[in-house]
Amino acid sequence: MIRWRRFVGLMLGIVFLQALALVPLHATHTWAVAMPRLSADLLVVAGIAGIGALAGWPRLAAYLGSLVLVVATLLRNALEILPAVFLRPFELADFAQLPGLVHLLTVNRTTSQQVLLWSAIGGALLLAFVLAAWSLRAVAACALVGRGRGLALLVVQILLVAAYLAPARAWQPSALLQVADLAVGEVRNRLDPAPEESRLRARIEAGRVALAAAPQKPERLAGVDVYVLVVESYGATSLRQPEVAAHFTGLWQTLRGELERAGFHGMVGFASPAIIGGSSWLSHMELFTAVRTDRQRVWERVLQTDNPALPKILRDAGWRTVEVMPAMDRHWPEGQDFYGFDRSATQLEMPYTGHVYPWGRMPDQFALHWLLHNEVAKVERPPLFAAFMSVSSHAPWAKTPPYVADWNLDANTFAAEPKCQHPTTWLDVPSGKGLVPAYRDGLEYALRTAVGFTTRLTRPSLVVILGDHQPPIGWTQEPADRSFDVPLHVLSNRPELLAPWGQHGMVEGYVPPAGTPSRPLAEFAPALLRSYAK
């Protein structure tokens, strides 16, 4: 007979294994949704433990099954989270983003905090591994006693029947099989790369042809400074979604007054990047190279080419090209050379000692203030092309910096606490209840800063303010904007420079009216070059 202690161990083991197999590590799923489902991976792991026990290797089989289960749990969450946030399938190339995840977890933390963090993560994984191994041994032990063998066979039979009769939604898809399918597909592509390579080459070549066919010397911009200010997570949803649309429409009315008092006028429209929710570097590549970049694989392949890029074209035409990257804590010479920037400003060039913010350490205003004083203010210089990649509106928008209206900044300006703090973390993305006010405040700050910078430009200037992608928020109030669109603003203190953008579907003003068309982001760079050719 199965003794009661062994029975209790069996029950506890089953409960823990079910919990581990289906645990939701992110707000995209909940226990209420996960726990009623059956895990195919758990059946595989239980089979490993049972066969190992019958073969006389119960301990080794339990450890092996435990390792497989922990890995399957991590993979399952990755396979669920990425499509929920970025609205695209997981691909093996996404494993290359693991260093970025490490950076996300450790950025702006002290050494002691990093030690505590990794100790906690490592301890949790080790605890899960040990408990899963114990649970598997408890379950497999039933197969080693007289009636336990019959009970084990009965349970397996019941599960097999349940698997056959239960609807598909009752089963948690196997993460192991999904990753195995991806691996098989990758091997197939390596053995016969022609179809995939053909598609990649065609897409990359289309971007190269589009930029190469555009005029390489925009003479009508001669002597004009050009600024591209990419506002993180500035999506069309900010102007369409009922929860925040009125707020940002009102904000742009205020910003319009500031711009016009400084002599600037604007046109507005929508662009459509190939991404949503994150992976901003893909959007940056699409913006500057005219290559539709929707996957990490495309990004990697474009970097290996000699395709033209907008900054490089303008550099060859006489502009000084500068990129300001406050999120970067190191140099990236390969990217600087590919895009064609004369200077790349990172945290190394912009030392910051104020309050540390979650992404990029410094607020947007600090970085743009550096650009004003170190590049824009130079007396003897050629026309400037500057690209700024913002950080303050980066998800999950936990801290909103104070905006300094007069732009008189010193070492102590940002020493104080943030203007407001929201209790949001990455675990809240995309469906946490506190994300909407956090997004509203963070994006408002980023837009105020971008416009404030623009109003301080006195030379002939063309300023482009646009979003890199829609924010990773799961809106619930209908009608929900689920497009890939981002607002695109073209501003200038020389009104004649705005006229060509009407041919690209843009309209005068700062808030696009309903029905304003959206153009692919990949068309922006060729459109700019064509718009200012003689």
User: pLDDT tens digits, residue range 405-451?
Assistant: 999 988 788 888 888 888 877 777 777 788 888 899 999 999 999 99
List phi, psi (to 5°) of 456.
-95, 10
**How far is Cα 237 from Cα 243, in angstroms, rounded to an integer?**
9
Q: Please give the backbone phi and psi of residue 384, each rounded to the nearest 5 degrees, phi first.
A: -110, 135
State the average pLDDT for the chain: 81
Q: For position 116, what pLDDT does the model report?
A: 80
- The percent of the chain in helix, strand and coil, each rounded to the nearest 5, is 55, 10, 35
- Which pLDDT score is estimated for 31? 46
Instruction: Determine the pLDDT at residue 108.
Output: 57
Domains of the chain: 4-189 (no CATH), 232-531 (3.40.720.10)
Q: Binning pLDDT at 50, 70 and 90, where does residue 63 land?
A: confident
- Residue 422 belongs to what H/E stretch? none
Q: Is the pLDDT of residue 1 over 50?
A: no
How many Cα neighbours within 13 Å face the side chain of 456? 19
pLDDT at 197: 74
Share of the chain above pLDDT 70, in %: 74
| Lowest-confidence region among 117-121, 155-159, 344-348, 454-458 | 155-159
Burial (CB count <10 Å: 0-12, 13-18, 19+), residue 423: exposed
Identify which has the larger pLDDT, 47 or 406. Answer: 406
Count each helix (H run) and each strand (E run) in the chain, helices first. Answer: 18, 13
**What pLDDT score was predicted for residue 319?**
94
Evaluate if residue 526 carries a pLDDT over 90: yes
Q: Say if residues 267 and 490 touch (Cβ distance below 8 Å).
A: yes
Does the pLDDT value for residue 146 go beyond 60? no
Q: Which one has a higher pLDDT value, 262 or 126?
A: 262
Q: Residue 439 corresponds to which tokens in the numbers above?
A: 């997004």
Closest among 455, 446, 256, 312 to 367, alpha carbons compared: 446
CB 66, CB 469: distance < 8 Å: no
Report, as an integer, the average pLDDT of 20-33.
54
Give the type of residue at 506: M
